Amino acid sequence: MPGLVALALASPAVADDFAPDCAAASAFLDEAVAAGRTVGASALVWHHGEEACFVSAGDAVREEDRPFARDTLVQLFSMTKPVTGVALMQLWEQGRFGLDDPLEWYLPEYAATEVLTGESETGEAITAPPRRKITIRDVLRHTAGFSYGPWGPPQNASDRAWLALEPLSSENTLAEFSRKLAQVPLLYEPGAQWHYSAGVDVQARLIEVLSGDPFVDYVRTHIFEPLGMKDSGWRRSEADLARLARIYVQGEGGGFTPMPRDAWLEANFAGKPMTMGGSGIVAPIDDYMRFARMLLGEGELDGVRILQPATVRLMATDQLDPRIASEDRWFLPDKGNGGFGLNVFVRNGPPLTPDENRGTRGEFFWDGLASTLFWVDPAQDMAVVFFTQKIDFDGSLHHDIRQAVYGADYTGPE
């Protein structure tokens, strides 16, 4: 237990002289909509045990003149990932696995997974066994070497294998996904680099194997229902369209085009087999705030315990080996002065430059493809959820909502 005691001692004390600037947050949303940076958005701030403010601006569905409201449903995309991480760590608390256990002990298909070392003259993958086994900790911190598929034209034989196998096709079950991903050559040696990947979908499959329940059923029973997140989930009904925000794609000229809903209906209404661990939850802002408040409460909300305090602190502790250089962390350094815990970014120090996102040492967070964001700031006893539905991902919105909440010169308590 010494490590867990150390984590508890390292938890920052609450600073009493800070108050979130809700007027600035409201003004920022108004300005962002007026300037054409997004079509609509909302933000919810919880501070010192109570709601500090809810602010919103613009439209959830511009074509229907429907405002971005408190009960608006949004697609969370990768803000699904921390939910999956909490579910898996519940099973860790029960002793179902060890963080440094080889993944293949529970998912045998990964015993044969190899690392891409080159290509033949005809473009065939040249692979070799990894120098060490993929561990579950690797899967939780994006250091397994897994792919997420090509981010553009295929660059190597691993990308081409992904495209041929389509692990994350909506037609696959999580079991089928895992068997296919295990055949895609690893991009890097396990532990060598931080590479955003389908590892959280592997976590979802682990939850099924370890618990004996379908992934979405496990999350509903052990997270959504206990926390009172009554309006959250992967499988939705056609009636949800009346509250669902449109995703807007910004063109080169700055205008917005609504994304067709066919893909959403197919994935969430037509009952396709795939239920990703890394994406897919649809929720209103109050539901996700309940999840964030549980994390702020070190695993407890309204008398219901989801995780032990030491487990939340472990998730919010940087898990990356210092030998992983900045250039081997892909886009992670763009998110601030920090590293990565278990399914969340972790801030290790105050902002280093005026351009860096404002934040507090010890905070943790993640975001989503359609520019959503949440963060938990234990030092300021605060949680914030920011919703919008804009593609491409716009990190400048995150910089500016943080600056509004904290102030332009904020670097955190000493």
In angstroms, how far is the first alpha carbon of the chain from the final one? 28
Closest-CA residue to 44 (of 370, 393, 373): 373
How many beta carbons lie within 10 A of that of residue 370, not counting itself? Answer: 25
Distance from C-alpha of 232 to C-alpha of 234, rounded to nearest angstrom: 7
Contact at 8 Å (CB) between 42 and 285?
yes
pTM to 2 decimals?
0.94
Q: Give the SS3 label for residue 117.
A: strand
Q: How do the pLDDT tens digits run along the chain, 414 residues long? A: 334 433 433 444 455 589 999 999 999 999 999 999 999 999 999 999 999 999 999 999 999 999 999 999 999 999 999 999 999 999 999 999 999 999 999 999 999 999 999 999 988 999 999 999 999 999 999 999 999 999 889 999 999 999 999 999 999 999 999 999 999 999 999 999 999 999 999 999 999 999 999 999 999 999 999 999 999 999 778 888 899 999 999 999 899 999 987 665 655 655 689 999 999 999 999 999 999 999 999 999 999 999 999 999 999 999 999 999 999 999 999 999 999 999 999 999 999 999 999 999 999 999 999 999 999 999 999 999 999 999 999 999 999 999 999 999 999 997
Closest-CA residue to 197 (of 157, 161, 150, 234): 150
Contact at 8 Å (CB) between 158 and 139?
no
